[in-house]
Amino acid sequence: MSSPDEAGIAHRVGRMLAADGRDAQRVPANWTELLDPDEWRLNTAGLPFRRAARVIALRQVPRPAILLVIGHDFGDVSHSWGFTPGGGLLRGETPIAGARRELAEETGITLAETALIGPVVERKALFTFNRVTCRQDELFYLTYLQESVGVDRSGWTDAEQQVLDSLRWWDLDELDGAVAAGMTVYPRILPALARELLDGWDGRVHHVVEY
């Protein structure tokens, strides 16, 4: 569901819902061909919506680093961004179970539930992907990994292989430099947050809204 504030914003700017319930200005009629309809449902504001879970994976050795995926939009390689492993929840799936499953599928890293801390971030996002404006609510969990833990991309689906460009450890200094040079990372607080979390989590949940 959309929040009351979001629905109010849609009303104030005169958004018109089509007969099928979608926001006709921001969601094309064939949106179910552009997004997986098993994961996305139209909310009351007429936007495809899903809940998702992600993992902030950090390591200290040999240098402080974070595990990131770099992806691009369908048909537009210039629209790219960095993000942590994760994705949409399956029907009936808990966020922590979804975070573990997505981490295993996208990176080959299998963790016990007790290895995930948090959630440390709760994010509400509005973004455009494949010409569709989407709403997503995400929970981010934290884990600490050793240098010896490798990554494996063999679990990527055909759709992921089309839009995901790389999966690797980024030194935090390297990440700061890339962001300063114009690289986009979501959530935008991630580079600073990664440094904050390196020595442990203080129990505070960061609430992020990126509309």
Residue by residue, pLDDT tens for the chain (211 residues) are 445 455 444 443 456 899 999 999 999 999 999 998 888 999 999 999 999 999 999 999 999 999 999 988 776 677 788 999 999 999 999 999 999 999 999 999 999 999 999 999 999 999 988 889 999 999 999 999 988 788 888 888 877 777 788 899 999 999 999 999 999 999 999 999 999 999 899 999 999 999 9
Superfamily covering domain 47-210: Nucleoside Triphosphate Pyrophosphohydrolase (3.90.79.10)
Ranges of each domain in the chain: 47-210
Q: Among residues 118, 175, 161, which one has the least CA distance to residue 142?
A: 118
Integer distance in angstroms from the first to the last C-alpha of the chain? Answer: 16
Instruction: Give the DSSP letter string of 5-22.
Output: HHHHHHHHTT--B-TTSS
The residue with tokens 């098993």 is 38
